[in-house]
Structure 1
């Protein structure tokens, strides 16, 4: 696979990660489609293993999403800026502390956004808890599954 195709696969995966944070965008499916595209062009043992593993991870992710309570976005005060902070925090945390850093990065991003908006620690903590109860857990689960797939793909590209 050429450099341009790898960049396009990476772009589609990035759009999928952003799509997880935007309601109505099929972020999980964009990440999986990019993995499928890469696997079909690569046609190696590693590519097929990653495709099967990413399919399993994203299916498990979907089941966990069904088990979580539904998202209650209205009246909670979730803003675009908060979603951006949470997404950036999760991605940065994922790469700073591999895999497990996504969770504290996501929550830290929400807290940082709320701390800037509200000014105080107590109010920001209360708002962060409210957001995580309303919609944060389901978004975090979906984002974490997609980050696992993207991280595995990056590992295969760099070291495979």
Structure 2
């Protein structure tokens, strides 16, 4: 791959890592996609190995984040319907109040859905905190996966 192509891949990887943290872009998919393109274009043992590792690590992170978050929410007693309400409200408010609306909508809708379900403020707030913790877990797992993919790309870049 020419030098300018590797710079473009690097920029997409950085944008993807930013997207993982901020949660407005499909960050892990951007990182993996850029690295896979690099691997395919570079070819050879190194390129294909990095591409395969990237796909496997990204898939493992995607599965792992849902398993960890689901287990955390199950322990806290937060039903899936509450998260659906939070996700829908977050998506709608994202367009009403750009970027900040995602967080405001998610937190507000989770609290409201739990308050309607249990009719008490304290358990509703505990469920909201559990949902925010689960969201943080998913971000950390996805970021770890994206960082491993980035590391694989950097090692491949150095050895190719």
Q: Which has the higher contact order (CA 8 A, sep 6+)?
A: 2
Task: Report what 1:53 is aligned to.
Answer: 53
Indicate the residue corresponding to 1:11 in structure 2. 11
Gap regions ≥5 residues in structure 1: 75-79, 81-128
Per-residue deviation, 1:132: 7.5
SS at 1:54's partner residue?
A: helix
8 A contact 2:16–2:31 mirrored in 1: yes
2:21 and 2:62 mapped to 1: Cα distance?
Answer: 15
- Alpha-carbon distance in structure 1 between the residues aligned to 2:46 and 2:159: 11
**Is the Cα contact below 8 Å between 2:54 and 2:149 reproduced in 1?**
yes
Shift, 1:5, TM fit: 0.6
The equivalent of 1:2 in structure 2 is 2
Matched residues in 2 for 1:41 and 1:58: separation?
Answer: 19
Q: CA deviation at 1:133?
A: 2.4
**Aligned pairs, number:** 107
CA distance in 2, matches of 1:134, 1:45: 38
| Equivalent position of 1:136 in the other structure | 136
Instruction: For structure 2, list consecutive stretches of 5 or more residues without a partner in the other structure.
Output: 74-82, 88-98, 100-128
1:90-123 deviation line (CA, Å, top 9, x unaligned): xxxxxxxxxxxxxxxxxxxxxxxxxxxxxxxxxx
**2: distance between equivalents of 1:132 and 1:159?**
41
Rg (Cα) greater in structure: 2
- Deviation of 1:155 (Å): 1.3
**TM-score normalised by length of structure 2:** 0.59
SS in 1 for 2:24: coil
Distance, in Å, in 2 between the alignment partners of 1:59 and 1:36 is 13
Q: Give RMSD over aligned pairs.
A: 2.6
Matches within 5 A, 1:58-69: 58-69=58-69
Q: CA deviation at 1:135?
A: 2.5
2:39 alignment partner in structure 1: 39
> Do structure 1's residue 147 and structure 2's residue 147 form an aligned pair?
yes
CA distance in 1 between counterparts of 2:157 and 2:139 reads 27
Residues 36, 134 of structure 1: alpha-carbon distance in 2 compared, 3 angstrom cutoff: closer
Question: What secondary structure is seen at the aligned counterpart in 2 of 1:25?
Answer: coil
C-alpha contact 2:46 2:159 (8 A) present in aligned 1: no
